[in-house]
C-alpha cells in the first residue's frame, strides 16, 4: 500500500470509530457539553426507585465500562462518564406484574476529572431534561447534596451490576 492509500485507510478507520463524536445543538449544563451518542453506551446497572416511581438504567462511556470490568471504581478513572437515564414507571400492558418505562424524565451525567472538577469532588455534574434535552443549570449543589451519602464511594450511588465477562 502506498503512503496516500495508508492515509486513506487510517482516516476511514478513524471515521468508523468516531461516527458518534459529532457536535450537538443541545446547550451546556453547568458548562459541560452534551455527550452526544450516550444512547449507545453499554450498561453499568439498572434500578427501580420505589420512593418516586421511576425506572433507571445506568450507562457508561468506554472508559467507565473498562473501569467497571476491571474493578477500578473507587475512585473511577479520569475520563469516565456515567449516565443515569430515568423514566416514570407503568405496568406492562402485556404482563401486569412487570414494571416498565413510561414517560422519559431526564438523563443525568457524572464526568470524572480529578483536576478540572477538583472543587466538586472530582466530578462534573450535568443533567438534560425531557425529550427536548433541556440543559439543567441550577447549580451543582443540587446534585452534590443528594450524593453526599455516597461520598465514601467516590460520590457514586451505582454499584456495577454483575455480568459474565464479554
State the residues that interact with its own copies by CB under 8 A.
Answer: 1-2, 4-5, 8-9, 12-13, 16-17, 20, 36-43, 45-51, 55-57, 59, 65, 85, 87, 89, 92-95, 97-101, 103-104, 107, 128, 131-133, 149-150, 153, 157-159, 161-166
Grid coordinates given for 111: 464526568
CB count in 10 Å sphere of residue 147: 18
Grid coordinates given for 114: 480529578
CB closer to its own copies out of 113 and 144: 144
Grid look-up 438534560 returns 128
Taking the complex as a whole, the smallest distance from the CB of residue 59 to its own copies amounts, in Å, to 7
Taking the complex as a whole, the smallest distance from the CB of residue 41 to its own copies amounts, in Å, to 7
Terminal-to-terminal C-alpha distance of the chain: 34
Taking the complex as a whole, the smallest distance from the CB of residue 151 to its own copies amounts, in Å, to 11
User: How far, in Å, CA of 61 to CA of 42, rounded?
Assistant: 7
Taking the complex as a whole, the smallest distance from the CB of residue 140 to its own copies amounts, in Å, to 20
CB closer to its own copies out of 27 and 149: 149
Strand partners, 59: 43, 83
- The CA-CA-CA angle for residues 160, 80, 16, to 5°, reads 105
CB closer to its own copies out of 43 and 120: 43
Amino acid at each position: 500500500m502506498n503512503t496516500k492509500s495508508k492515509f486513506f485507510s487510517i482516516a476511514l478507520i478513524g471515521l468508523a470509530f468516531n461516527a458518534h463524536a459529532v457536535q450537538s445543538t443541545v446547550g451546556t449544563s453547568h458548562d459541560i457539553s452534551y455527550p452526544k451518542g450516550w444512547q449507545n453506551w453499554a450498561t453499568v446497572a439498572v434500578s427501580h426507585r420505589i420512593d418516586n416511581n421511576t425506572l433507571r438504567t445506568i450507562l457508561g462511556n468506554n472508559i467507565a465500562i473498562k473501569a467497571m470490568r476491571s474493578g477500578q471504581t473507587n475512585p473511577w478513572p479520569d475520563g469516565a462518564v456515567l449516565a443515569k437515564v430515568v423514566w416514570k414507571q407503568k405496568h406492562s400492558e402485556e404482563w401486569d406484574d412487570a414494571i416498565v418505562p413510561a414517560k422519559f424524565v431526564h438523563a443525568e451525567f457524572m464526568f470524572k476529572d480529578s483536576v478540572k472538577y477538583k472543587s466538586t469532588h472530582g466530578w462534573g455534574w450535568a443533567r438534560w431534561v425531557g425529550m427536548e434535552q433541556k440543559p439543567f443549570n441550577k447549580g451543582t449543589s443540587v446534585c452534590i447534596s443528594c450524593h453526599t451519602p455516597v461520598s465514601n464511594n467516590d460520590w457514586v450511588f451505582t454499584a456495577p451490576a454483575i455480568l459474565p465477562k464479554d
